[in-house]
Structure 1
Amino acid sequence: MKLRLATAAALALTLTACAPSTSTPGAAPSDGGARTGTLKVWLFDEPNRAPKEKVVNEAVAEFTAAHQGTKVDIAYIAVDTRSERFKGAFNDPASAPDVVEYGNTDLPEYAAAGGLADVGPAVTAWSEGADLSPDAKSSATYEGTLLGVPWYVGVRALYYRTDIFQELGLKVPTSIAELTTAARTVRAKKPELFGVAVGGKYTYAAMPFVWDAGGDITSLNSAQSRAGLKAYTDLIADDNCPPQQCADLTGGKTVDLFASGKAAMGILGNFNRAAVDAGAAKGKYAVVPLPGSKPGSIAPAFAGGNNLGIMKNSQRPALAADFLTLLAGKKYQSEMYDAMGNLPTLKSASAVVAAKDKFVEPFITTISNGTKFVPLDPGWGKIDASAVLPTMIEKVATGKSTVEQATDEAAKQVDAALTK
């Protein structure tokens, strides 16, 4: 869909209002830059790129048909080296792409570098822009400025073995207390299984317990955060998931445990479906939202995912906005789910996906209930790289530290890393 000229002009004014601190872009015309020529796009590479590439190529064909005299050059960049590539583009306007895909946890670093454009005017004028949920937009917003359009989101929910629950006469948990009881019952009656696979290094399985209790990453030593952490680490015990086997489990390893049939429950993502279906648990499981402490409640989940943004150095900001909103629209979000299993961020696309695939309902319900995110601060990268949160969880799980000691230590590290 092509944005109105007024939108292009508004975007252009936003893009040219100030240059990133690391570079000086060329002068951009007030009409939004050149309307022809080559639009450069960076998207993340995938282990199996073909399905994604097929959808993107379809979008490119639609875009070029509607924009005569234009071409779209798609470059698939390695996720592991994305930071270096982006830094280079921020510093060298000539090498900068126009449209970029980036992880939502990358936002603080890229925003601090001044390399991303304000896409607020484009989203406001976009007919589907109002369909983005506030939580989705918040993960692409830095200091009040919208620096991208959430392209897809991933959240975690509770996978459980329907055959084991039926055999043991267990009810699907509707609270953390019920989940804990069911996990211990499984372990007692089937000691070869873990009740629920939980890991000391699985940050995004632990944080919903903290958030549900009213805690947060920025207040780890609060009473609420400590209560949530204790609820999670109490599951890393001999009567469920023994510390000697589970204290160093990562998210990937917990997926393996559930998929291989060694756990009756697991806190896994919508994006783990293929891995589970490739294992012994295939056809023997169901999914519900991860319950909170209050019966019938849903624990807040971490909303991971990727955004589409426009580089501030773009010489074709209006064309970039047109392509971004096309690729991020309902049509291609729905097709990306079919191709890659990526959950849409647009409510209308989510409805389409849910109608044809009941598997996604608990994940969409989780998103609708409200999600959480990491601190939008450049210091988050240091916290993540230093493994502050998993170290905290693991120390409590192994008994090396009390909840109070571990949270005090982690809170100091978080405070020191955050710049705000």
Structure 2
Amino acid sequence: MRRRLLALVCVSASLLTGCGLMPQGGGGARRTVTVWLMKDSASPAFLRRFTEDFERTHTDLDLDVRIQEWTGIGPKVQAALKSEAGKAGEEDLPDVIEVGNTQVPQYVDRGGLLDLTLESMRDWGSDDWLPGLAEPGRQRGTQYGIPWYAANRVVIYRKDLFAEAGITKPPRTRDAWLDATEKLDSGGNQGIYLAGQDWYTLSGFIWDEGGDLAREDDGAWKGTLDTPAALRGMDFYRRLQALGDGPADADEEHPPQAGVFAGGKVAQIIAVPGLVRAVLETNPDLEGKLGFFPVPGPTADKPGAVFTGGSDLVVPQNTDDRAGAVAVVGALTGARWDSDLARTMDYVPNKAELARAVSGEEGVAAMAAGAAQGRATPSTPEWAVVEADNPIKTYMTEVLAGTDPETAAGRASRRITEQLQIPLA
């Protein structure tokens, strides 16, 4: 994803560099496994704990963890996957790479990733992975990306404004959510601040109705915003968005919704829990007044669908130590260390059954509940073309401005279909 939902926390960048994290073990025939992880995905303390334990329990392996920047990572990973000379630029070739979950199809399309289907089915419990992480890592029945951690949107709300409106508990269904939001949209307050082009949030409403942004048919992808199910999702978005003053022609970053929420006149926003930090920095008076609940679904038995961002771990085909790479992936994504990472970084673990690890944090617990219903963008490498010049945003603005939804959806769907036929450069 262009914008990382994963920016939930900020950790110091001064403790990790491109050098190995821990001194390599000496003596014997120890082998070094080089791991590329992304900046701020794991804290220095977590990486120290993991490295020390891994090297203690794998007496033939040393870890060389190298921290990468998200900016420009795509071409760097591609160069590493294509390299045959044992070097990727000035760095040793990685044996394990962290990639964004929605980036996996692009790397699979260009070749160079190791098939990890056997390990995922036999040892790693692939049936229990969060679908929003697992599905992008799977192409044509083959598992290349192994889910590591996730993050997704929840509803962040003002507990005091809910109480003043007589709302004693968060809504659990869409209808109850609309009713509560209408009550909150009074007395100079906005019931919800929802920007008109927040297409990630719209995606969840569409999925809840059984629709999709695009679907594959006989090997060809086409836009599907004009299906009845997708139109129902857009209609719910329109009704909810009308209970506030969010701009119809901008997304949630223009202006940043954290600043709007901090202004004190908004009852709810839809965002990752970590956004609260920015809100409180702007308005410390809101300390203790903010709560979280999962985006409600059509019925009370489960939360609504949400877009799931996160990271998968992949192994390049050109690794010279498959066994070592698989050992690292298995350890990092296993229950012990995946739970540790989730607690440390306020992430969602890669399996719903591990959500108990974050049950003590209200925001993360709400996020984990929603992640069980999470999805990702269409699993095709050409989806990056759609996001680069996004017709979904234009469609949303048109509908909110009064254009006939079917007409606007048909136009956007045709544009998405055209974009999905454009090969990535």
8 Å CA contact retained: 1:378, 1:419: no
**Residue 115 of structure 1: how far off its partner (Å):** 2.0
Cα distance in 2 for partners of 1:52, 1:73 equals 16
Aligned counterpart, 1:88:
79
Unaligned residue ranges in structure 2 (runs of 5+): 1-28, 215-223
Whether 1:208 aligns to 2:199 is no
Match of 1:100, SS? Answer: strand
Residue 81 of structure 1 aligns to which amino acid in structure 2?
G
TM-score, normalisation: structure 1: 0.81
From the superposition, tell whether residues 246 and 163 of structure 1 become closer, same or farther in structure 2 (CA, over 3 Å). Answer: farther
| Counterpart for residue 291 of structure 2 | 286
Partner of 2:308: 303
Please identify, of 373-382 and 277-286, the stretch whose mean Cα deviation from structure 2 is larger: 277-286
Alignment pair present for 1:364 and 2:368: yes
2:287 and 2:140 map into 1 onto residues whose CA distance is 44
Q: Which has the higher helix share?
A: 1
Q: Who is 1:73 aligned against?
A: 64
Give the alignment's Cα RMSD to 1 decimal: 2.5
Does the 8 Å contact 1:90/1:113 carry over to 2?
no
Partner of residue 391 from structure 2, selected from 377, 388, 393: 388
Distance in 2, matches of 1:216 and 1:123, equals 27
Equivalent residue number for residue 411 of structure 1: 413
Find the aligned partners of 2:69 and 2:301 in 1 and give their Cα distance. Answer: 42
Counting only pairs closer than 5 Å after superposition, residues 6-405 of structure 1 correspond to structure 2 as 36-46=30-40, 52-93=43-84, 94=86, 95=88, 96-126=93-123, 131-133=128-130, 136-171=133-168, 172-188=170-186, 190-191=187-188, 193-218=189-214, 219-237=224-242, 240-242=243-245, 245=247, 247-250=249-252, 253-278=256-281, 279=283, 280-294=285-299, 298-354=303-359, 356-368=360-372, 370-399=373-402, 401-405=403-407
The alignment partner of 1:153 has SS state of strand
Structure 2: which amino acid aligns with 1:416? E
Measured in 2, the distance between the counterparts of 1:418 and 1:97 equals 31
The one-letter amino acid paired with 2:249 is A
TM-score, structure 2 length as denominator? 0.80
Query: How far apart, in 2, do the equivalents of 1:108 and 1:276 lie?
Result: 35
| Percent of residue pairs identical | 24
Q: Is the 8 A contact 1:198 1:266 kept in 2?
A: yes
* Unmatched runs of 5 consecutive residues or more in structure 1: 1-34
| Superposition deviation, residue 395 in structure 1 | 2.5
1:110/1:292 CA distance change after superposition, 3 Å: same
- Give the Cα separation in 1 of the matches to 2:225 and 2:343: 38
